[in-house]
Structure 1
């Protein structure tokens, strides 16, 4: 990820308010875009399992606060050492809004839901994110192509197949899992219109402000800290480095440089990774219908990701 730093920094869509589709979002599937997609697909798919392990002995909101504080502080210190300017007061306020929606409302609600729902089910429900992203994008005048809608529909069919007889969660957990992608996708789309710090400094500021907000939520909820298990501590370290420092920065690059359906296509691949981890590490089993569902999900991803004529731009 560090090798791609130079490609991630220039031409950020964060430092300016836009009123039309940015020119950078018409770029082709460059090696940097493909790398960011791979990182988000695999790493975020594994974080659902990591969250489940971490909250086994750590309070949900407090764990997330530590996760993003550690990742944000490391990234901020590295960028300042490389000469990046400090965010202005206006940029800190914008970062706090994005941190509240993405990290508090998105990741936070998923983490709370995983107290009463399995990690694979959480990842499956979050697969509606591309649909929400396309709907929110229309609020700012962007369009989703017919093929993207077909891909989204096929992906959702795969999610339905995957959930047949498998969706087991309390009503509260189910509600949180539906609200989480609404917060995440709205925050993602809005972030491209906010005056955020340029490049990866935007990710660092969002994680730092999000960590403060999550810490406040932990205090308000009266979370109690016990003695964490080694497994929870290792999971927390993995979430901070790979789930936040690497994957979150890659995702924000995709938000700024690709169309909404492509940036959120991770939501279809994450359930695949989550299920495979559950089968391989959690002792879960998958029926023939489940494997069929995974194939259908991947077919939907191909339709969403595959560009028309090699371009990765929104349809006019």
Structure 2
């Protein structure tokens, strides 16, 4: 990693973790896809203005546009849509994070085949330890839930973030973050609008809490965290980037403790430490 970028992974983890907090604030006032549609429209407007005013270069050729569009559908439409629908349907954020927490193992399995990346035994060990840590953090949140129906959107989100990371690393790792974001979010917005129009009432209660959550998710997540994710995918291996998602459930639990007063038991604290250890091992360079 280049000098001056060593803190980017930690900043990304913190920003990404706040997405669950923003969802908890905003979802009581809007259906999930309608919420995301407004978010995407604001991101499109913001990034389009930024790209035009800064003179950002736009993707050249239909192939690059196509690859950016596909990666956007996977990373944004499918992943975020699945997460928001799972939480709205009653799946606890911690359980949703655990399902998505399988991503590093799936990414490692696909990285060698699709990207030619070598995953060292030490990295596999770190991925397994990290998964165990995530399971401990959210173990007390599962309870007796009708999981099967609620898990389907979360599993779709898991597929989206895993396939999107591998696809972007393979086909469009290098692009301008300003104009490229516009190309990624355009098909995401269209797809989300069509599904929301056909499945939801699209009514929104414009409360102060909803507006705060919306602005946070637009500025901090869709602009800040997504830009960091694109940078990390560009500069690191797919396995290293994916391993960071193990830190999301512990980080989310810590933020929820600070913001909402949710308690952290001894088992959860041990899980957080294991997740940190797992990410450390997974991010050690292969030899």
Using structure 1 for the length normalisation, give the TM-score. 0.82
Query: What are the equivalent positions in structure 2 for 1:152-301 lying under 5 Å apart?
Result: 152-168=127-143, 169=145, 170-194=147-171, 198-200=175-177, 201-301=179-279
Which of 95, 113, 119 aligns to 1:139? It is 113
Query: Which segment drifts farther, 197-206 or 243-252?
Result: 197-206
Query: What are the equivalent positions in structure 2 for 1:110-121 lying under 5 Å apart?
Result: 110-115=83-88, 116-121=90-95
Partner in structure 1 of residue 124 of structure 2:
149
Partner in structure 2 of residue 36 of structure 1:
8
Distance 1:239 1:283 in 2: 21
CA distance 1:29–1:120, shift in 2 (3 Å): farther
Partner in structure 1 of residue 22 of structure 2:
50
Query: Which segment drifts farther, 170-179 or 288-297?
Result: 170-179
Distance 1:120 1:161 in 2: 10
Partner in structure 2 of residue 62 of structure 1:
34
Query: Which segment drifts farther, 35-44 or 102-111?
Result: 35-44
Unmatched segments (≥5 aa) in structure 1: 1-27, 308-314
Q: Is the Cα–Cα contact under 8 Å of residues 151 and 302 in structure 1 kept in the other structure?
A: yes
- State the superposition RMSD in angstroms: 2.0
Using structure 2 for the length normalisation, give the TM-score. 0.90
Q: Is the Cα–Cα contact under 8 Å of residues 70 and 240 in structure 1 kept in the other structure?
A: yes
Q: Is the Cα–Cα contact under 8 Å of residues 104 and 213 in structure 1 kept in the other structure?
A: yes
Note the alpha carbon deviations across 1:62-103, whole angstroms, 9 max, x for none. 211221221233123212222223335613333221122111
Distance 1:137 1:235 in 2: 35
1:102 partnered with 2:79: no
Unmatched segments (≥5 aa) in structure 2: none
Distance 1:171 1:59 in 2: 21
Distance 2:137 2:205 in 1: 36
Q: Is the Cα–Cα contact under 8 Å of residues 58 and 176 in structure 2 kept in the other structure?
A: no
Distance 1:278 1:161 in 2: 16
Deviation at 1:280, TM superposition (A): 2.0
Which protein is richer in helix relative to its size?
Answer: 2
1:125 partnered with 2:96: no
Distance 2:136 2:204 in 1: 39
Q: Is the Cα–Cα contact under 8 Å of residues 113 and 172 in structure 1 kept in the other structure?
A: no
Q: Is the Cα–Cα contact under 8 Å of residues 137 and 250 in structure 2 kept in the other structure?
A: no
Note the alpha carbon deviations across 1:168-197, whole angstroms, 9 max, x for none. 453222232233122211122112333587
SS of residue paired to 1:264: helix
CA distance 1:223–1:101, shift in 2 (3 Å): farther
Distance 2:3 2:93 in 1: 32
